[in-house]
Amino acid sequence: MSEHIIKAMRANEMIIRKSEGSKPSTPAGGLLSRTGEKTTSNINTTDNIASYVKQIRAARNTHA
């Protein structure tokens, strides 16, 4: 299972690297979205996960 988690992390890293220039944004939709529709079923999961990771890293760097 650890290998699968590492694979998921690598895939996530690639998504983050693609959007490296952009600032961390809130998820496009879903329960944790601040701007989008919370009840929408049209959620881009991979982008949202990358968005969460970017937000957590940004917060960590800010408060470090």
Partner 1 sequence: MPDASSKFLDAPIPGQSLTTEPKSRPWEQPPKYATTEAALAFYIPRLSNAELMAPMVDVMEEGTTVVAVAEMIQSSGVMNGLHTIDVGLLISPVLVELLITQAEMSDIEFKVGTEKSDTPDPSMVRKAVDTASEEYFDTSVEVGEEEVVEEAPEVLPEGLMARREV
Q: How far apart, in whole angstroms, are the C-alpha atoms of residue 4 and residue 1?
A: 5
Please tell me whether residue 52 binds partner 1 under the rule CB under 8 A: yes
Given a contact cutoff of 8 angstroms between Cβ atoms, the answer to whether 29 and 38 are in contact is yes
Please tell me whether residue 47 binds partner 1 under the rule CB under 8 A: no
Q: How far apart, in whole angstroms, are the C-alpha atoms of residue 23 and residue 14?
A: 16
Q: Tell me which of 17, 23, 34, 60 binds partner 1, using CB under 8 A.
A: 60
User: Rule CB under 8 A: which residues touch partner 1?
Assistant: 1-2, 4-6, 8-9, 12, 27, 30-33, 43, 45, 48-49, 52-53, 56-57, 59-60, 64
